Amino acid sequence: MTFRTLDAPVVVRTEEKRSVFECWLRRVDDEDAARAVVEEARSVLWDAGHHCSAFVLGPDGATVRSNDDGEPAGTAGMPMLEVLTHAGVSDVVAVVSRWFGGTKLGTGGLARAYSGAVRAALDEARLLTRVRVREVDVRVGHEVAGRLEHDLRARGVGISGTTYGQQVTLRLQVPLADAETLPDLLAELTGGAAEPVPGTTSEGWVDLA
């Protein structure tokens, strides 16, 4: 299982008929963190008239929320959310703060401006892939370790740590979809000289650049 998310926060300003829109795009882990970003925007950009928001959470993007924050219903939060979902990102919150420029934009103009601010921020963003992995220790002789590490990386297996002792212990991060075939892969690469260490297995998410 994989999904795309932000590598780092993004701040972008756009303008529409003298109204200024500032979009904050942040990576978050849960709803509380997403709402905290909205409150931070209210505090830092206190002179803005609106702080509209949208966020998508979870590996499958199943948790979605949006808020128009006083703008006409459907003109801000939902258009912002549609940009996020269309981009296929998750664990991301967008907050767009607006300073009114004196000219009303109308419902269509507002929707374009708010969604455009999020789109502009995504254009500036560096995205990465989150992948579910199974972590497991593998012990191997010193004479084999360097070549095995190189060959595993070439096959898409990450290595999060290396410990040297009488043997070398590699902490592998195997994409969950490939985890069941790890013993066969080790046998192929080392002729049976390396095997997973029992009792060292766990699962988690890791970032891929």
Query: pTM of the full predicted structure?
Result: 0.83
Residue 94 identity: A
> Are 95 and 143 in the same domain?
no
Find the CATH number of the domain harbouring 97: 3.30.230.30
> Are 6 and 74 in the same domain?
yes
Give the chain's end-to-end CA distance (angstroms, integer): 16
Measure the CA angle with vertex 107, ends 105 and 109; round to 5°. 45
Q: Where are the beta strands (DSSP E) in the chain?
A: 2-6, 10-16, 19-27, 50-57, 63-67, 92-99, 127-140, 158-164, 168-175, 195-196, 202-208
> Are 7 and 87 in the same domain?
yes
**Where is the domain boundary, 125, 153, 183?**
125
**Where is the domain boundary, 76, 106, 125?**
125
Look at residue 138 in the predicted model and tell me its pLDDT. Answer: 92
Find the CATH number of the domain harbouring 159: 3.30.70.240
In whole angstroms, give the CA distance from residue 89 to residue 83: 9
In whole angstroms, give the CA distance from residue 57 to residue 123: 20
Calculated CA dihedral for residues 185, 128, 93, 32, nearest 10 degrees: 40
Domain coverage including residue 179: 130-208
Look at residue 201 in the predicted model and tell me its pLDDT. Answer: 87
> Are 114 and 52 in the same domain?
yes
pLDDT in tens, the chain (209 residues): 789 999 999 999 999 999 999 999 999 999 999 999 999 999 999 999 999 999 999 999 999 999 999 999 999 999 999 999 999 999 999 999 999 988 899 999 999 999 999 999 999 999 999 999 999 999 988 888 889 989 888 888 889 889 898 889 999 998 888 888 888 898 889 888 888 888 888 999 988 76
Structurally, the chain folds into a number of domains equal to 2
Contact 39, 64 (CB under 8 A): no
> Are 121 and 136 in the same domain?
no
> Are 92 and 191 in the same domain?
no
**Where is the domain boundary, 125, 145, 176?**
125
> Are 118 and 162 in the same domain?
no
